[in-house]
Structure formats: structure tokens, C-alpha cells
Amino acid sequence: MAMAALRREGRRFAPLVSSPNPINAIRSTLAPAEEQMGLGVRSISTQVVRNRMKSVRNIQKITKAMKMVAASKLRAIQVRAENSRGLWQPFTALLGDTPSVNVKKNVIVTISSDKGLCGGINSTSVKISRALHKINSGPDTECKYVILGEKGKAQLIRDSKKDIELIMTELQKNFLNYTQVSVLADDILKNVEFDALRIVFNKFQSVVSFLPTTATVLSPEIVERESEAGGKIGDLDSYEIEGGETKSEVLQNLAEFQFSCVMFNAVLENACSEQGARMSAMDSSSRNAGDMLDRLTLTYNRTRQASITTELIEIISGASALEG
């Protein structure tokens, strides 16, 4: 039995066996330890710990790779997001962004990601959408959802199923471009009645900070009403509107164009935030896996040394029993 144990461990214990004198002292202290471990625990526990280490190491490699992929995707899309920021600013300067506008029909457009493992950005978007919904649903106002992205859909479909008008997923399968988003915007404008559209997305401030933001786009009738009432949009009246038969036709074109520009920017910013959040989530994942691996290595070494000691005890007690 001792030789089989030796072969299993692949170590040489011959020099130790030949000097029985110090062993008697060790035997008394280690005997309780042997009892604690119990039967059949010796080399099997190292196997278990080793398996665990292997799987944690694999996970660490995967999360490291995911982090690098997210970093490269972020670089590509960040440039485009920054270029598209200049597009909606003239609209806001002209028409204003008034989230406090009081309208009857609100539509909340929630932009979320399709894939998971991206930190908490989808949950924050959904939380804000729900809050907006609560604020804006009263006795004579109604509030509907339009959802872009699988993760938002999964969360909102559970409790607000009857309020959802339109769901669109898998936006990022094809390369995101303005034509695609303008078709989407067209879809929404045709199928959903609204007085005000509130787009909820995560704005990309930097690689570690993503701010949930809402952008408000008003329908042309409301724009006319607000501009006549004065206030922030009152400046619109100082501009003479040309091009097209009537002022309302131009305003409608303007509102539609504004919506598609704002949507384009929102979708790009959300995609940036998704990649950034995934990068930091995978980074902390890899670090956690590294910590776990350190702890498991310590446990493994302790288990290994304990099993060696048990073997030693067995051999030596066997040897001393033989001697007499």
C-alpha cells in the first residue's frame, strides 16, 4: 500500500523511511490530523481542487479575451459616436429639449443592448424608463414603450407587457448606419401616435462613466403650440420658415429629421456605453478570477502537503510496526 501511494505521488521517500527516530515524535502530533481527514480524502481532494483551478483559469482567459474584443470594438464606434454628436445640436438649439413638457401621449423609446455581460447599463435604462412611465401616466395622459434591444425587452416585458407598442432587436447585426436608423425612425413615426417622444439611452462620457440620459423630441403640433406660448421654443418664431407649402409641413419634416438624427446619436452612444461597460465588467471578472485562483492555489498546496504528510505517517507507522 505504501509503494502504491509512493507511485501515485511520484515522489521518493526512501531516505525518510530509513531513519525512524525523529518519526516517533512526529507521529504523536500528526495522528489527530489524520483522523480529521477521514478515509479516501487524501489524493481525491487535490484532484477536486485542481479541476476547480483549471476551470477558473479558463474563465479568466475567456474574460480577458472578451475585454480585448470589447476594447477594439469601442475604439471603432467611439469615433462615429463623436462625429454624430454635432448633428443634433443645431436641432436642440432651434427647437429646444424640454423634458418637462406636458403632453397627453408620451412614448418612451428605450435603447438597450442585445448581448449581456455588459455591467449595469441595461438595468439603469429600464429603471429610468419605468420612472418616466410612472411620472407621465396620469388620469388623462398615456404612456407607451418602444423597445430596442433584447435585454430591455426581457426586463420590460415582464411587467409592462400591455404598454409596449413596438419591439426591435438585433440592430447591431449589420453595421450601424444612418439609413438603417432612419428607416427605424420612420417605422416608429408611422405606427405610433405620439405628442412627445422620450428617448432613454446611456450617454458615453468616458470609458468608465456612462450617464443615463433622455432626449425629448416633440411632435410638430406641440412644437407649434409651445413656440406660440413663448418660453424656450419661442425663438423658433423669430425664424422665417421657408421651403414647402406651409409652415406646418416644414415643421413636420423638421421634427422627423430631428427624431432620426437624435435616434442615430442615441443608438451609437448606447453601443459605445455597452462596449465600455463590457470592458470594465470583464476586467473586474478577470481580476476576481485571479484572486480566486490565488486562494485555490493556497488551498491546493495545503491539501497536497497534508496528503504527503499522511502518506508519510502511514509508511512510517507501517515500518515501525514491522520492526517491532
Partner 1 sequence: MTLNLCVLTPNRIVWDSEVKEIILSTNSGQIGVLPNHAPIATAVDIGILRIRLNDQWLMMALMGGFARIGNNEITVLVNDAEKSSDIDPQEAQQTLEIAEAALRKAEGKRQKIEANLALRRAKTRVEAINGIS
Binding site for partner 1 (CB under 8 A): 80, 83-84, 86-87, 90-91, 94, 177-178, 182, 236, 238-244, 250, 253-254, 257, 261, 264
Supply the minimum distance, in Å, between the C-beta of residue 182 and partner 1.
Answer: 8
Supply the minimum distance, in Å, between the C-beta of residue 258 and partner 1.
Answer: 9
| 8 vs 31: CA distance, rounded Å | 22
Q: Which helix (H) or strand (E) holds 115?
A: none
Beta-carbon contacts of residue 29 (< 8 Å; ≥ 6 apart): none
Supply the minimum distance, in Å, between the C-beta of residue 88 and partner 1.
Answer: 9
Integer-rounded Cα Rg, in Å, for the chain is 33
Long-range own/partner contacts, residues 247-256 (CB < 8 A, 24 or more apart): 248/220, 248/221, 248/224, 251/220, 251/223, 251/224, 252/220, 254/91, 254/95, 254/220, 255/95, 255/217, 255/218, 255/219, 255/220, 255/223, 256/185, 256/186, 256/189
Supply the minimum distance, in Å, between the C-beta of residue 251 and partner 1.
Answer: 9
Q: Which is nearer to partner 1, 237 or 291 (CB)?
A: 237
Opening angle at CA 27, ends 299 and 4, nearest 5: 65
Q: Which is nearer to partner 1, 24 or 83 (CB)?
A: 83
Q: Which is nearer to partner 1, 37 or 94 (CB)?
A: 94
Beta-carbon contacts of residue 191 (< 8 Å; ≥ 6 apart): 165, 166
Q: Which is nearer to partner 1, 206 or 238 (CB)?
A: 238
Supply the minimum distance, in Å, between the C-beta of residue 218 and partner 1.
Answer: 16
Supply the minimum distance, in Å, between the C-beta of residue 244 and partner 1.
Answer: 5
Q: Which is nearer to partner 1, 86 or 318 (CB)?
A: 86
Contact 183, 199 (CB under 8 A): no
Q: Which is nearer to partner 1, 177 or 305 (CB)?
A: 177
